[in-house]
């Protein structure tokens, strides 16, 4: 499935700013800030694309090729003002993103409440890489 913009064509996007390397990415605070910046940019770009409705939720299904030439599938649900991002491999849990707040993680494999990332948690790096790979 390919995303299409509301205008029927892909928008012109600058993806050079989505580099995950550099000094900011080397500290726990830097990783958290980098993920927050990437998510903010990702969600702004996501609104340029059509979605489907499931009850009152907006749903985007994103098929993407990562930088290792492997295909990935991201499922994004927007319920009210909160976005829920799930990578279909299931290993990363679900990311809960609320505007103006830090993202939270919901552990995979069950019905759990969301929580903040732990300091130095590898899932922050994994989600940053996934969001970078899904740039439009």
The band of 28, judged by pLDDT with boundaries at 50, 70 and 90, is low
The band of 105, judged by pLDDT with boundaries at 50, 70 and 90, is confident
User: CB count, 10 Å around CB of 50?
Assistant: 11
- What are the extents of the domains in the chain? 26-133
Per-residue confidence (pLDDT) for residue 12, from 0 to 100: 34
Per-residue confidence (pLDDT) for residue 79, from 0 to 100: 93
Provide CB contacts within 8 A for 32, sequence distance 6+.
102, 117, 124
pLDDT digits (tens, 9 = 90+) for 71-80: 888 899 999 9
């Amino acid at each position: 499935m390919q995303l299409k913009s509301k205008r029927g064509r892909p928008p012109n996007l600058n993806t050079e700013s989505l580099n995950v390397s550099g000094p900011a990415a080397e500290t726990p605070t830097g990783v958290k800030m980098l993920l927050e910046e990437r998510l903010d940019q990702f969600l702004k770009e996501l609104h340029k694309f059509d979605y489907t409705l499931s009850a009152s939720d907006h749903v985007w299904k994103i098929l993407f090729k990562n930088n290792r030439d492997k295909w990935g599938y991201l499922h994004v649900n927007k319920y009210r003002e909160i976005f829920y991002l799930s990578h279909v491999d299931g290993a990363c849990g679900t990311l809960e993103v609320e505007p103006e707040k830090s993202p939270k993680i919901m552990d995979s494999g069950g019905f759990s409440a969301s929580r903040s990332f732990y300091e130095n948690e590898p899932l922050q790096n994994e989600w940053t890489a996934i969001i970078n790979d899904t740039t439009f």
